[in-house]
């Protein structure tokens, strides 16, 4: 699976904790940052793969599941700690679901929004992987 669980450095004292993400922590340059919030527990997000972009998903609050597929096998990763992130590399299908109440998912991306980088249908995704393996 083309993913990596990432420990985000944190500093803790009696006043609370701070987590720090600097450019050398990520395996890609930061080009875009966005976040998902107010997602109903029954809703699904994602449902796509990126041809080129890498993303880091961080649960700033609450929890959610990330369902991943690489064309051969699937894996589920539950994110529920704000100092643990999931790097999803290119050509990996992802769906997010099972959002807890008040959850917030921060996404740090290696690219700006480009519709041509998205594969939004799972069958098209499998075809894309097959055509690029030749």
Chain centroid to Cα 106, Å, comes to: 8
Active site residue 48: yes
- Within 13 Å, how many C-alpha atoms sit on residue 96's CB side? 25
Tell me phi and psi for residue 126, to 5 degrees. Answer: -65, -40
Q: Where do we find the tokens 């959002």? A: 99
Tell me phi and psi for residue 73, to 5 degrees. Answer: -135, 160
CA-CA distance, 118 to 115, in Å (whole number)?
A: 6
Q: Where do we find the tokens 């929004």? A: 113
pLDDT, tens only, 37-90: 999 989 999 999 999 999 999 999 999 999 999 989 999 999 999 999 999 999
Q: Among residues 48, 50, 69, 72, which one is catalytic?
A: 48
Three-state SS string over 39-62 comes to: CCCCCCEEEEEECCCCEEEEEEEC
Nearest one of 38, 35, 68 to 50, comparing CA atoms: 68
The mean pLDDT value of the chain amounts to 94
**Confidence check: pLDDT of 2 > 90:** no
Mean per-residue pLDDT for 32-37? Answer: 96
Q: What is the pTM of this model?
A: 0.92
């Amino acid at each position: 699976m083309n993913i990596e669980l990432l420990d985000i450095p944190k500093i803790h004292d009696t006043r609370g904790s701070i987590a720090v993400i600097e450019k050398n922590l990520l395996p890609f340059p930061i080009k875009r940052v966005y976040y998902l919030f107010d997602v109903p527990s029954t809703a699904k997000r994602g449902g796509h793969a990126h041809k080129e972009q890498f993303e880091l998903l961080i649960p700033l609050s609450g929890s959610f599941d990330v369902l991943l597929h690489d064309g051969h096998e699937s894996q589920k990763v539950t994110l529920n700690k704000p100092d643990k992130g999931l790097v999803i590399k290119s050509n990996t299908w992802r769906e997010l679901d099972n959002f807890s109440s008040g959850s917030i998912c921060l996404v740090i991306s290696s690219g700006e929004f480009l519709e041509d980088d998205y594969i939004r249908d799972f069958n098209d995704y499998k075809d894309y992987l097959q055509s690029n393996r030749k």
